[in-house]
């Protein structure tokens, strides 16, 4: 008998399946929204497709439309995740698909209507996607001028300009560090004391703190932090530096 057999609380197994499955699917959808801090973004396509696949695992099988919807969502979502990781630009086709077909509302309605099938096809999926698209349009209008989505840079040129600016900033910081090290070395050589003065100073109190008149930052000191980054999400800046 394994640990899971004797401890029913592992991975929500203590809940009935019809309650545990929706909770896991909801958690996946919320996680996608939290990554880029908005309703629809570059990662919600992938998390939506994962939620549909979870429905397929629980249901045992799905029809043709839901199966294609989930598989295509994985492919498009993988591209969206890559764009999110590098904080890259995504085109209008991806934006339209993400907002109208793979928004959290669209995914939720697809899951709810995936049950009834007719000749292996779910007839309610297409109307569900149409209803979700209309609801998303109304949501956007109600939130104007705010937008319920975020897809990173507005153009490829803006993305390249951001990368170039960050590269130049890092190069300038490295040059500034090297100049500081050279200046520190020159200062130490200019202020070196003669042997006689060094011998007299050797009898001074070893616990006396030196003066701060010529304070110089250590050569390896980090440059002062600039203003807050405009990037969204958790990973983009870190991964782009890699």
Q: Is the pLDDT of residue 24 over 90?
A: yes
Contacts of 126 by beta carbon, 8 Å cutoff, 6+ apart = 65
Question: pLDDT value at position 215?
Answer: 52
Question: pLDDT value at position 51?
Answer: 97
Question: pLDDT value at position 199?
Answer: 47
Q: Is the pLDDT of residue 216 over 80?
A: no
The neighbour count for residue 135, using CB atoms within 10 Å, is 14
Question: pLDDT value at position 107?
Answer: 97
Distance CA 44, CA 35 (A): 9
Confidence of residue 194 (pLDDT cuts 50, 70, 90): low
The neighbour count for residue 97, using CB atoms within 10 Å, is 18
CB burial of 9-19 (b: ≥16 within 10 Å; e: otherwise) equals eeeeeeeeeee
Which residue(s) pair with 41 in the sheet?
A: 150
Question: pLDDT value at position 164?
Answer: 83
Express the helix, strand and coil content of the chain in percent, nearest 5 each.
Answer: 60, 0, 35
Q: Which residue has the tokens 């250590």?
A: 218
Confidence of residue 16 (pLDDT cuts 50, 70, 90): confident
Q: Please compute the mean of the pLDDT values over residues 108-130 and round it to a whole number.
A: 92
Comparing 192 with 91, which gets the higher pLDDT?
91
Question: pLDDT value at position 163?
Answer: 82
Radius of gyration of the chain measured on its C-alpha atoms: 29
Q: Is the pLDDT of residue 99 over 60?
A: yes
Q: What are the structure tokens assigned to 82, written together?
A: 């890559």
Q: Tell me what the pLDDT averaged over the chain comes to.
A: 79
Comparing 219 with 114, which gets the higher pLDDT?
114
**Reduced to 3 states, what is the DSSP secondary structure of residue 95?**
helix
Confidence of residue 45 (pLDDT cuts 50, 70, 90): very high
Contact 81, 231 (CB under 8 A): no
Can you give the residue ranges of every domain in the chain? Answer: 3-150, 155-190
Which pTM was predicted? 0.68
Distance CA 153, CA 227 (A): 19
Q: Please compute the mean of the pLDDT values over residues 1-30 and round it to a whole number.
A: 74
Least confident segment among 66-70, 76-80, 104-108, 201-205: 201-205
Question: pLDDT value at position 66?
Answer: 95
Q: Please compute the mean of the pLDDT values over residues 222-227 and round it to a whole number.
A: 45
């Amino acid at each position: 008998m394994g640990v899971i057999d004797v401890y029913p609380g592992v991975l929500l197994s203590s809940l009935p399946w019809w309650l545990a499955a929706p909770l896991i699917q909801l958690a996946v959808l919320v996680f996608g929204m939290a990554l880029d801090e908005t309703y629809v973004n570059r990662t919600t396509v992938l998390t939506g497709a994962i939620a549909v696949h979870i429905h397929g695992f629980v249901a045992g099988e799905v029809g043709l439309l839901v199966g294609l919807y989930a598989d295509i969502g994985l492919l498009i979502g993988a591209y969206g995740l890559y764009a999110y990781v590098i904080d890259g630009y995504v085109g209008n086709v991806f934006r339209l698909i993400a907002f109208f077909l793979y928004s959290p509302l669209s995914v939720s309605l697809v899951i709810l209507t995936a049950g009834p099938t007719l000749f292996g096809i779910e007839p309610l999926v297409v109307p569900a996607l149409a209803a979700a698209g209309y609801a998303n349009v109304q949501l956007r209008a109600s939130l104007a001028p705010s937008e319920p989505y975020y897809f990173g840079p507005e153009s490829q040129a803006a993305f390249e300009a951001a990368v170039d600016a960050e590269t130049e900033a890092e190069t300038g910081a490295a040059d500034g560090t090297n100049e500081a090290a050279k200046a520190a070395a020159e200062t130490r050589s200019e202020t070196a004391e003669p042997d006689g003065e060094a011998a007299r100073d050797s009898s001074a109190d070893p616990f006396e703190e030196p003066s701060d008149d010529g304070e110089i930052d250590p050569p390896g000191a980090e440059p002062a932090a600039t203003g807050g980054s405009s990037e969204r999400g958790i990973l983009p800046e870190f991964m782009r530096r890699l």
